[in-house]
Every structure is written in C-alpha cells, then in structure tokens.
Amino acid sequence: MKILIAGAGEVGTHLAKLLGQENHDITLMDSSKERLMAVRDNAELLTFIGNCTSLKDLTEAGVADSDLFIGVTPEESRNINACMLAASLGVKKTLARIDNYEYLLPKNVEFFEKLGIHSMIYPEMMAAREIVSALKTPWTRVWWELSNGSIILTAAKVRANAPIVNRYLRELPSVGKMFHIVVIKRRNHTLIPRGNDQILPDDIIYFTTLRKNLDEMPALMGKTSFETRNVMFMGGSRITMRTVQYLPSNINIKIIEQNRERAEKLVEIAPSNVTIFLGDARDTELLLSEGITEMDAFVALTGNSEANMLGCMMAKQYGVKKTVAEVENIDYIPMAERFDIGTVINKKLLAASKIYELLLKADASNIKCLTISNANVGEVVAKPNSKVTKKLIKNLNLPSDMTLGALIRNGEPMLIDGDTLIEPYDQVVVFFTNTSLKSIESFFN
C-alpha cells in the first residue's frame, strides 16, 4: 500500500516507522527539513519537504497515486484541509487527526465523507477513555471490551501469592476454562505463550475472559479489587479535562496544575466535584497537605513523561494503589513497567490502533496496539473456505507471533482452546505482533 503521511511530529514519525516495518511504500511530508532529516536516518521511507495544504506540493509528493493520506500535523484545521485537497487530487482514503469531539458524532460522518475525509482520530479522547477504564477496574493494567462487552481483554501483574504462579499453561484446565492467556510480558520480553510456558511472579499476563467470569479474576492474579472514589490528577491538560468529563460525578477529583493561567482557566470550567490547586505535584509537602494518602488513584498527565513517572512513583510510596502515567516517549515504557506504574497511556500507540483498522485487508472491525506488550489485538471475521476454518486450532500451525483468544459465534461469546474449530463468519479475537498482519490475511481471507 502506498501511504502519504503529512506531519513529521511524534505521531507522524511513529506511524511512518511502524508502517515502514510492514513493507508499505511510505512517504513522510513536512515543511521542516530538520524534522525530516532526523527521521530519514532511522526509517526506510521517503521524505518530502513541502506544505500539505499546497496543491502543488501534494501533487509532487505523489498523492494522486496513493492509497491512503494521513494528516497528523499539530493543527486540526490543517489536517482537515489537507485531507480535502488530497481527496480531490485522487487519493483513495484519508484520515485526519482532530481535536474536536463534535466532528466524530455519527450525525456528522456523512458530512465529512462528502468533503473527502473518510476517517478521523482524536488521540486525546481515546486516551481519556483508556484512563476511565483503568480507574473503573483498578486491578488491571489494560481493559478492552470486545464484541459489545461480552468478551473482555485485560492485563494484570501476577503477584507471588497468586494460585496460578509457577504453573504451566497446560496445567490450568480448571481455571483455564474461565480465561485464556494470550500474551505474557516478562521484563522486556513479549511472549505469545504455548502450553509448555510457565507463569512466573511479576509476569504481566494479557488474557481474554467472559464478563460472567470477571469477579473470579482478581483473586487468580493474587489481587483484590476496589472502588475508585478519590482521584488526584497531576496536570490540568486537555486529556485531564476530557477524562474528568467521562468520570462519574460522585468521584472526588483534585487537579494540581503548575501553570497559574491554566489553573485559573480550569477553575472556570471544572464541574463541582473537581478542586483545582496551583503547584507542582512532585512537591511532597503539597501532596501530603492535599491528602495524597487518602487517594485511591493518582493520574499523571503533564507533557513531561519523566515527571509523570516520578509523580506516580511518589504516589505509590504514599500508599496509592492505582497509578496512571502518560508516557509519550516510547523508549520509557519498559522503564515505567519496571517501576510498577500500573497503566501507561501513549497517544502515538492509540493513534496507531486506528491506522491498523484501515490497513488490515482482512475483515477486521477493531484493532488495538497493546502499549506494554509490543503486541496488537484485533477482531477478525473468518471468511468461508479460509484456511482458519479447515482444521482444529492446534493443527493450524499458527505462526509463533500469533494466537487466537476468543470468538463470537451467532452472537454467543466463547473462549477457545486447541480443540476449537473456527467456523465461517466467526468473529475471532486475534493477537499478533507488528510483523503478523500478512499472516492474519492469509489465514482469514
């Protein structure tokens, strides 16, 4: 696929590198020669110095021959205008990064499609929803509802006292029917497990389960669940305020913002259950005076990844059970995991999830990048006569970097094992690394 990406910022650069690994024909366009030079040394892609709202520059960059145009500059209006121009010049599909939730409302979809904007991503809104899910299920690190919530994908760190510790996957027949382990993250290593793999203390395991089994899951991980009632936010960013809007009004929220002008603005727009404080959330005296020891959760959402991680580490020291950190530097994510920062939010990886939806040629309705595990998960429909429907799962010879976690058949959710036979039109939950998109297509098409 030929893809033209406008914007060599963090999101555009990450996408270019990610998609380049899939052997797509990538051109990265930006008006800054310096930004493009930094990327060109580290990725196999073409670069083009130009203005994405210039018809001349878009034409010279090859937009007419492209399959997909992605507008991810920092400016929403620029991305929208660029997508409109790209569509008029002949690109097949467009995607724009936006900052306005109103554009995503169902009533506006047709309007934007007529303008040539086929898909839009709002990373800050996606991040806010991830945070809300993390606060509602604080014993987890990841929470994702599949198939209208009938199948749950989640992840948790296994404690030393967990009943499944030191057990091999093949030794879990009784509890194994309640959940299906699909990824094990052990330090910096990501493992798609098989029956002869063992669960060790401090492993982060990603698993699928049915909603009816959820109450049993925390104890199996050596954890206890609890209700989040008091939350402290470090930084009054746009993600913070979007998260506050999504949280129930009965949660007590404190926001510590370092910038006076921003803090004063937040006071004007914050709902009644939110209190704003001016200061640095890494100040121990301030944290103690504002009741850090009484908090159920601490959420760090400043623009500084290091500050966010440090803030969460301090909150942990004061007994806060659940911490969430925005870590935009991907290289820092393994470090955040080692420091036991529960949920990590990364807008670049959230944006990549949406891009995968467009790229996967199989009938995929939902693709997500797993931030901690370096893996992806998607819902894929099995086509009639496809390879995946011919044999039991254990006889399919699936690649080592791909596994199947659950399925929906005639509206009914099912966990699967090696003796399951996939049927045509089953909606299957597939886990794969960044190199397995082609494998998915070959098995399901």
Where in the chain are the domains?
2-121, 230-320, 357-444
Regarding the domain with residue range 230-320, which homologous superfamily does it belong to in the CATH classification?
Answer: NAD(P)-binding Rossmann-like Domain (3.40.50.720)
Q: How far is CA 146 from CA 124, 240, 296, 389, in A?
A: 21, 25, 27, 21
Parallel, antiparallel, or unpaired: how do β-strands 25-30 and 46-49 relate?
A: parallel
Average model confidence (pLDDT) for the chain?
Answer: 89
Domain spanning 2-121: which CATH class is it, in words?
A: alpha beta
The predicted-structure confidence for 155-205, as pLDDT tens digits, reads as follows: 999 999 999 999 998 888 666 578 989 889 888 788 888 888 999 999 999
The predicted-structure confidence for 405-428, as pLDDT tens digits, reads as follows: 899 999 899 888 888 999 999 989
From 260-269, 281-290, 321-330, 430-439, the region with the lowest mean pLDDT: 430-439
What is the rounded average pLDDT of the residues 112-136? Answer: 93
Residue 37 has pLDDT above 60, yes or no: yes
Percent of the chain with pLDDT over 90: 59
The predicted-structure confidence for 98-109, as pLDDT tens digits, reads as follows: 988 899 999 999
What is the rounded average pLDDT of the residues 276-298? Answer: 94
**C-alpha span between 39 and 25 (Å, rounded):** 15
Q: How far is CA 16 from the centre of its chain?
A: 17
Contact 218, 103 (CB under 8 A): no
Instruction: Tell me the two tokens of residue 113.
Output: 């499609």
Asked, colleague to colleague, whether 2-121 and 230-320 share their fold, the answer is yes
Q: Give the per-residue pLDDT at 438.
A: 67
The predicted-structure confidence for 297-354, as pLDDT tens digits, reads as follows: 999 999 999 999 999 999 999 999 999 999 988 889 888 888 888 899 998 888 877 7
From 37-51, 108-122, 226-240, 399-413, the region with the lowest mean pLDDT: 37-51
Which helix (DSSP H) or strand (DSSP E) does residue 206 occupy?
strand 204-210
Residue 362 has pLDDT above 60, yes or no: no
Q: Give the per-residue pLDDT at 41.
A: 65
Q: Give the per-residue pLDDT at 369.
A: 61
Fold of 357-444: Alpha-Beta Plaits (3.30.70)
Residue 371 has pLDDT above 60, yes or no: no
Instruction: Tell me the two tokens of residue 150.
Output: 């009938």
Q: For 338-349, b where at least 16 C-beta lie within 10 A, e where not — what string?
A: eeebbbbbbbbb
Residue 240 has pLDDT above 80, yes or no: yes
The predicted-structure confidence for 428-443, as pLDDT tens digits, reads as follows: 988 877 655 667 778 8
